[in-house]
Amino acid sequence: MYSGKMVFSQLMDFLPRHEFNNCVQRYRGDYHAREFSCRDQFLAMAFAQLTYRESLRDIETCLNALQPKLYHAGFRGKVSRSTLSDTNKRRDWRIYADFAQVLIRRARALYAQDDFGLALKQTAYALDSTTIDLCLALFPWARFRRRKGAVKLHTLIDLRGNIPCFIRITHGKTADVTVLDHLPIEPGAFYMMDKGYIDFGRLYAFTRQMAFFVTRAKKNLDCYRRESRVVDKSTGLRSDQTIVLQGLKTSHLYPAPLRRVAYYDAEHDRRLVFLTNNFELSALTIAQLYRCRWRVELFFKWIKQNLRIKKFYGNSVNALKTQVWIAVSVYVLVAILRKKLKLDRSLTEILQILSVTPFEKTPIFQALSTSFVPNSETRCCNQLSLFDL
């Protein structure tokens, strides 16, 4: 019989303790914290994410029911609804944002060699945002419509592993294009984004920093064609052109040539026109790269279905950001676990298993393995064999 650590404790062992302590010290998170530390807060919120808790009272009730096991799971302070509410409201959310970045760097290193469907040596990113609806009566600071509140989650994911590497939480009324002012631009990388991010002044920053973007062109684009290249129309391509902007303002904001690729999507019966500053890749590869942008949409759908980011345990800005960043940390932690243990299960399946086994004393690889090996010790010695072999 296994008598080692619980599954929850084994999972938390994948967290780099030293880096977490550095993040806490950077913002003095444990200053005057006598009983409930930042680690206790993180463990309680991670438990809530893993087990789909609905409220602070739900978290308190479930953890207190397991009181004899909490010390061995890593908890050192008493978990109460009022204490957790207060820490979510007052402790700096940047502690968990910085720690999430530590986990993200580790996850990206593990998934760096993964294939995302295209033979591309450079790093490829997909950028988009999603709106998280809020109750205006509970979140008056997030007024989005007359009777509706909302925040936006701007996310940049690495297509190798679908790891979120840049996240920015803003007011629901924030224009998507403004996030480009805060986006870290990596030379040589590709950035896929929809036409809501078209701002030629901001896009020219990618060209100046030797990075590439792929986006969709608007219908009223004012430009003239400088060159056309032959395309194979059987692949869906319709044109591959070099263009120069000629609008009075846009030509000043983006003085360099652009590449315009037209593609017919037979599956959805629509014509798509892409803009990019890359002239090396084939036109078909450009179209396929933009199709990969939908992975960020799938990421939003996944986290909304499998993590607690639609209902919040606190009403303040700090509590909301704390919960979102801990949810992101849990997502990346499960991705790290899946890669290090070389599991064949999907992230959804792993989360489902972890939700019902956090305080079981079972080797975590055995709990998550796709092959079930029955425990011979549990067999009844009085059970007769049907066949004598």
The first and second tokens of residue 240, run together, are: 């591959």
Residues 338-356 as b/e (b if ≥16 CB within 10 A, e otherwise) read: bbeeebeeebeebbebbee
The first and second tokens of residue 264, run together, are: 């017919």
The pLDDT value given to residue 119? 84
| First-residue to last-residue Cα distance in the chain | 27
Q: Give, in order, the Cα–Cα distances in Å from 120 to each of 9, 208, 225, 243, 338.
A: 39, 22, 28, 25, 24
Tens digits of residue pLDDT in 13-55:
999 999 999 999 999 998 887 789 999 999 999 999 999 999 9
**pLDDT for residue 96 is more than 60:** yes
The pLDDT value given to residue 4? 80
Cα(63)–Cα(78) distance, integer angstroms: 9
Tens digits of residue pLDDT in 148-181:
999 999 999 999 999 999 999 999 999 999 999 9
Strands 212-216 and 190-192: parallel
CB 44 within 8 A of CB 326: no
Amino acid symbol at 148: K
Strands 270-276 and 124-134: unpaired
204 Cβ partners below 8 Å, 6+ apart? 253, 254, 255, 256
| Rounded mean pLDDT, 126-132 | 95
Fold for 194-292, please state it: Ribosomal Protein S8; Chain: A, domain 1 (3.30.1370)
> Residues spanned by CATH 3.30.1370 within the chain?
194-292
Strand partners of residue 224: 244
Between 7 and 34, residue with greater pLDDT: 7
**pLDDT for residue 387 is more than 70:** no
Mean pLDDT in the chain? 91
The pLDDT value given to residue 31? 87
